[in-house]
Amino acid sequence: MKLDELTKEFIKLYGQSGEEIFTFFAPGRVNLIGEHTDYNNGYVLPCAISFGTYLLARKNNGNTLRLSTSNFEYSADISLAELSNKHEEQWVNYPLGVIQQFYKRGKAIGGLDLYFSGNIPAGAGLSSSASIELVTAVALNELYECGFDMPELIDLSREAEHEFIGVQCGIMDQFIVGKGRRDAALFLNCATRKFVHVPFAKGKYRLLIADTKKIRKLSDSKYNERVAECQQGLRIIQKTRHISSLGELSLETFHEIEHIIEDPVIRKRLKHVVSENRRVLDAVKALMNNKFEEFGKLMNLSHDSLRDDYEVTGFELDTMVEISRKQQGVLGSRMTGAGFGGCTVSLVESDSIENFIKNVEAEYLDKTGLKPEFYLPEIVGGAGKVSSS
């Protein structure tokens, strides 16, 4: 939907008023490598994508928060006195959680008319939640002149997900949605917040996202269970090593001491985290030196580790990856996001994309009964104000 059409829909929903309508956008993200390392204070390498969330926002000079979206029929009129109440419609809780974080920081948010429109498939693992959180945070910051910088908006958005949604996510999703740069991936140390933008302009190779149509919700998945397993493993390691997170543990040191972890499941979880951290470092070097074949191999190794050691893939993701890797012009393919469903990302020669989509769609449908969707994203910048209407 074009911006002028969104504006017309906004006025149809909320009517005309003397207040100005502002438009904001926050991208989604695809993680190229570095999965389930962020909440272990490790390394990640995501990029912001052109699929994201638009938000049209206007003060309504009342005591009501009015929320609607082009994506679902459900809308809500919520008294400012009742913002702490969760709603059955999950999408509403993301902006509510962000607004609560503004209140916690002493910022008085008044009545608002909010109209969201996103083209990130829900439950696909492309971070629609962080996109909604950041677009809300940027809008509130602008409309009420709160003066928060982007790192503060990133932090409060993550805290909204922790405290209101109940998902103990790391910082990666909110960080890339807020700090993305056009034609670049973001190499982030989740412990220190230090980051470097790594060039990734489209050329001979493109990123191709495939939605398996296996939907999952993080709050209903084993995501938090994986977080707890890593914390359990960390406590065991801390008996022999002075570390505060698994992100500090080198692959060599892990191999020296892995025998002290008696539980084979916990040992496998830690093996993935530590080896994935190394793969991110190797992947950054490969991209910096235009070694795309090496980068593709690391993508494959990442998925195999997520499948075998972290056990967060599943039949649909594994089937999609297996089919994708067989196609001509594919250098690598892996699941992206938290797993348990959602999307894969593949590195594909530009000239092979049309055949890739045709072949993968047919075989995947035959094997799973699900019709996948494919996305060829642009790599874009982070959340911000688009225009005023």
For residue 389, the model assigns a pLDDT of 47
Q: Could you tell me the two tokens for 175?
A: 């960080």
Per residue in 2-56, pLDDT (tens digit) is 899 999 999 999 999 888 999 999 999 999 999 999 999 999 999 999 999 999 9
Q: Of 87-101, 232-246, 299-313, 352-366, which range is least confident?
A: 87-101
Position 343 in a domain? no
The domain that holds 69 is classified in CATH as 3.30.230.10
If one counts the domains in the chain, the total is 1
For residue 125, the model assigns a pLDDT of 74
Position 36 in a domain? no
Position 97 in a domain? yes
Cα atoms in the Cβ-side hemisphere of radius 13 Å centred on 116: 32
Bridge partners (DSSP) listed for residue 343: 211, 336
In three-state secondary structure terms, 334 is strand
pLDDT above 70 covers a percentage of the chain that reads 97
For residue 316, the model assigns a pLDDT of 96
Nearest Cα to Cα of residue 49 among 123, 116, 117, 128: 128
Per residue in 183-214, pLDDT (tens digit) is 999 999 999 999 999 999 778 999 999 999 99
DSSP secondary structure code for residue 79 in this structure:
E
Helix (H) / strand (E) element for 205: namely strand 205-211
Backbone phi and psi for residue 384, each to the nearest 5 degrees, phi listed first: 180, 180
Tell whether the model's pLDDT for residue 219 goes beyond 60. Answer: no
In three-state secondary structure terms, 64 is strand
Q: Could you tell me the two tokens for 341?
A: 């469903």
Average pLDDT over residues 237-244: 96
For residue 186, the model assigns a pLDDT of 98
DSSP secondary structure code for residue 201 in this structure:
-
For residue 91, the model assigns a pLDDT of 86
The secondary structure of 118-140 as a DSSP string is: E-SPTTSSS-HHHHHHHHHHHHH
In the predicted model, what is the mean pLDDT of the chain?
94
Position 70 in a domain? yes
For residue 387, the model assigns a pLDDT of 64
Tell whether the model's pLDDT for residue 84 goes beyond 90. Answer: no
Position 8 in a domain? yes
**How far, in Å, are 55, 124, 350, 386 from residue 383 at the CA level?**
11, 20, 28, 9
Position 194 in a domain? no
**Position 88 confidence tier, pLDDT thresholds 50, 70, 90:** confident
Domain range for 161: 3-31+45-181+380-388
For residue 224, the model assigns a pLDDT of 86
Q: Of 14-28, 140-154, 219-233, 353-367, which range is least confident?
A: 219-233
For residue 217, the model assigns a pLDDT of 63
Position 60 in a domain? yes
Helix (H) / strand (E) element for 185: namely strand 184-189
Q: Of 203-217, 239-253, 334-348, which range is least confident?
A: 203-217
Give the position of tokens 């830690």. Answer: 270
Residues serving a catalytic function are 173
Position 13 in a domain? yes
For residue 120, the model assigns a pLDDT of 86
Average pLDDT over residues 216-220: 57
For residue 223, the model assigns a pLDDT of 84
